[in-house]
Structure 1
Amino acid sequence: MNPYLELLQAYPFEKLRKLFAGTTPNPNYSPISLGLGEPKHATPDLIKQALIDNLDGLANYPATLGSETLRLAISQWLSRRFDVPQLDIASQILPVNGSREALFSLVQAVVDPTRTQGGKPIVMCPNPFYQIYEGAAYLAGAEPYFANANPARNFAPDYSSIPEEIWLRTQLVFVCSPGNPTGAVLTQKDWEELFALSEKYNFVIAADECYSEIYFKEETPLGSLTAAHRFGLKDYRNLITLSSLSKRSNVPGMRSGFVAGDAKLIKNFLLYRTYHGGAMAPPVQAASTAAWNDEAHVIENRELYKQKFAQITPILQEVLDVALPDAAFYLWADVTKHTPMSDTEFALALYRDYNVTVLPGSYLAREAHGINPGKNRIRMALVAEVDECLEAAQRIASFVRQHMQAPSA
């Protein structure tokens, strides 16, 4: 077997199952899970109908490059949404089977294990992070380096503090903006710092933007393509943006997304995917085209999240150190301000006493540079309908009040 498999850690939800093992939740409460970030809003009819209308496509082998119609829809959406010139559909856009598989396979295509300078190649990850980043790094023969989220910088990593010897080994940097689990959005200044470092040290930036369409202010979250265009990277050199329909259009089971950006990188990634078997089924391509071409359902979906967060955040702010995020559908709360419990103790006791599941923040991060930046925080995914989320928030508030401790002087 591949020896790198031994380096993979248990997924956060496996750790959560072990934490809860042997614990019986209070039977007086129905179960509510805020643990898994799986969209629960209804899938739009136009997407389901497009899928049904194109089932004949199952009789055909799909091209890895995807249909011209789908790539055009993606290019037009990117131009509308991020205020950039349309990307070339022949060389700068590639449909993928959900951003998750593309995040993983992109690392396998990008990392050059023979290019070492002082040690193994490095794949830099934000910390906390989406676990695919770490696993992809290990299985490509690289070493993950964790750039801790800095609350003082709106949870952006402080890239200026990273030693040059690390940058010299870095081949790919993952960026998640809006972030999971923090919901934070990088600024133009953050992006320009990263672009300058990429130019100096010649590493690829993989911008994971699957939460870009769930936000709470009138101003849309800044995207990597917009930031690059403003910076003068008209060819998006060394930049790959990844997005998905899962959160935007409530179709996580359809597994549909795209990568876009640097034509040279896309060309080589296409070659990799031709062997990897990454072609999207024709009915899914047709349904995806319908989704990218329609914005009305996205606006409606976003409004549901706005209403939900507007009702639930104030309830939780009374008992937890938590704020409305820039974007995404998570609340990232510190549990230590009002309770004597760690994040794992909080999650276990809440599950036991009120049958509500939240995810301990330490499970979403690694200890790096002396700290685990997820420690003593919890992630709450507000993906269910508003009544269920309100019920969960009220139970959490009751739970914290039972365990409330006096604030430290």
Structure 2
Amino acid sequence: MVFPERFSDLPAATWPRLRALLDVPTQASETINMTIGEPRHAFPAFVGDILAANLSGFGKYPENYGTADLLGAIGGFLKRRYDLDVPNDCILALNGTREGLYNAAMALCREEKHGQPVILTPNPFYQVYAVAALSVGAEPVYVPATEDSGHLPDYHALPTDVLDRTAIAYACSPANPQGAVADADYWRALITLAEKHDFIIFADECYSEIYRDTPPPGALQIARAMGAHPERVVIFHSLSKRSNLPGLRSGFCAGGPQSMARLRSLRAFAGPPLPEPLQAVAAAAWADEDHVIANRALYQQKYEIADEVFGNIKGYRSPQAGFFLWLPVEDGEEAAVRLWQETGVRVLPGAYLSKDANGLNPGKHYIRVAMVAPEQEMQRGLTLIRSCLYG
């Protein structure tokens, strides 16, 4: 059997690779898993009651694009958070943002743009960006997001011929894994670049509600204020981090009317809608801010703990937002194995979130640490990391 050659460049799957790396014994009596960004704070107390009250909805096919209640609740969130007025037909409910980030490329990537189209992705990156690019036959271009660039990709540094071929640019803010935030100036500059070279920005804003003091600006918010082309930006949001509901698989995307019409058309054939009882839960979660404020306060305490533990470590960068630490080490794989064997703490080598480009892997000298565990467990894990790797 012959498979498409373009998939030979797929990034290695992160979690099987990590399991193989750490398939060695540990001398520790306790395991502390700090690898995956799976929130472990309590989800909203109202979830069970709303789900129970809507169980009959499992007996019918769900609304394909989102119920009116859910789309209205998402629109309310966008108005409160970004002062955006987004009509329901410019919002699409998703089974988590991974579905949307992938299918948006399917629906919106040009088949040709001065030859083979390009899709830009930060490096390190969420792997669905690269898989989406390869799936649509585009050339993925991995742009380093390193300390020198503020841990955000400098798309302006790319050659003009690459930018002219660019159909889509993925941008993640707050950034996974580094916790960097794209400020208003960054978004304005990127949107201006996209206007000049006529490409679409896919703004992955899944960590937008977990931050220190200042809410990160939104890409669609900035684009509207600039008067950019209405189809220039598509944003993606999720309840996984905002509401500690990763198992709900609920998110949304929003953008211009033509983009969303194409995405809705694809959904009619290729995307499974969220069951209506889950849509009812999602609507309540998007409409409520109290649980989000409480959740954010817990992460703010964790930032303080991390700063106390690592504040005097050379190269330590305190995250602006999100719930990951991007810690500098000599070699990420060696550090992860040593931590596991000596302390029982499991972390993710940064290279597993990055791709070799021009002979360099921007994640090689880092480990990613998820600060999702309860506070005492997280503090214990961070202290073990400090003593094991930094003395």
Give the shorter-chain TM-score range: over 0.9
Cα distance between partner residues in 2 of 1:77 and 1:369: 42
* Residue 26 in structure 1 maps to residue 27 in structure 2: yes
* Superposition deviation, residue 129 in structure 1: 0.4
Cα distance between partner residues in 2 of 1:360 and 1:140: 29
Cα distance between partner residues in 2 of 1:203 and 1:272: 20
- Could you tell me which residue of structure 2 aligns to residue 394 of structure 1? 383
Cα distance between partner residues in 1 of 2:43 and 2:146: 36
Distance change >3 Å, CA 2–CA 288, structure 1 → 2: farther
* Residue 299 in structure 1 maps to residue 297 in structure 2: no
- Could you tell me which residue of structure 1 aligns to residue 339 of structure 2? 350
Cα distance between partner residues in 1 of 2:362 and 2:10: 20
CA shift digits 1:372-408 (9 cap, x unpaired): 111211110000100110110111122125xx5xxxx
CA shift digits 1:248-282 (9 cap, x unpaired): 00010000000001111000110011001331110
Partner SS state of residue 180, structure 1: coil
- Could you tell me which residue of structure 1 aligns to residue 63 of structure 2? 63
- Could you tell me which residue of structure 2 aligns to residue 73 of structure 1? 73
TM-score (norm 2): 0.96
* Residue 249 in structure 1 maps to residue 243 in structure 2: yes
- Could you tell me which residue of structure 2 aligns to residue 105 of structure 1? 103
- Could you tell me which residue of structure 2 aligns to residue 339 of structure 1? none
Cα distance between partner residues in 1 of 2:13 and 2:44: 30
- Could you tell me which residue of structure 2 aligns to residue 221 of structure 1? 216
Moved more, 186-195 or 317-326: 317-326
Q: Mark the runs of 5 or more structure 1 residues left unpaired by the alignment.
A: 337-341, 405-409
- Could you tell me which residue of structure 2 aligns to residue 48 of structure 1? 48
* Residue 96 in structure 1 maps to residue 97 in structure 2: no
The answer to whether the 8 Å contact 1:320/1:333 transfers is no
Cα distance between partner residues in 1 of 2:156 and 2:100: 28
- Could you tell me which residue of structure 2 aligns to residue 364 of structure 1? 353
Moved more, 49-58 or 291-300: 49-58
Cα distance between partner residues in 2 of 1:6 and 1:373: 21
- Could you tell me which residue of structure 2 aligns to residue 39 of structure 1? 39
* Superposition deviation, residue 63 in structure 1: 2.2
Cα distance between partner residues in 1 of 2:20 and 2:122: 25
RMSD (CA atoms): 1.5
Partner SS state of residue 157, structure 1: coil
The answer to whether the 8 Å contact 2:11/2:130 transfers is no
Cα distance between partner residues in 1 of 2:309 and 2:59: 52
The answer to whether the 8 Å contact 2:50/2:280 transfers is yes
Cα distance between partner residues in 2 of 1:150 and 1:82: 28
The answer to whether the 8 Å contact 2:303/2:319 transfers is no
Partner SS state of residue 175, structure 2: coil
Cα distance between partner residues in 2 of 1:138 and 1:60: 35
The answer to whether the 8 Å contact 1:319/1:400 transfers is no
- Could you tell me which residue of structure 1 aligns to residue 117 of structure 2? 121
* Superposition deviation, residue 319 in structure 1: 4.3
Q: Mark the runs of 5 or more structure 2 residues left unpaired by the alignment.
A: none
* Superposition deviation, residue 323 in structure 1: 2.4
Read off the aligned partner of 2:19 and give its amino acid letter: R
- Could you tell me which residue of structure 1 aligns to residue 227 of structure 2? 232
The answer to whether the 8 Å contact 2:57/2:275 transfers is yes
Identity over the aligned pairs, expressed in percent? 39
Partner SS state of residue 156, structure 1: coil
* Superposition deviation, residue 209 in structure 1: 0.3
* Residue 382 (structure 1) aligned to one of 354, 364, 371: 371
CA shift digits 1:142-174 (9 cap, x unpaired): 111011113233212222210011112111110
TM-score (norm 1): 0.92
Please show how residues 151-170 of structure 1 align to structure 2 within 5 Å.
151-170=147-166
* Residue 331 in structure 1 maps to residue 315 in structure 2: no
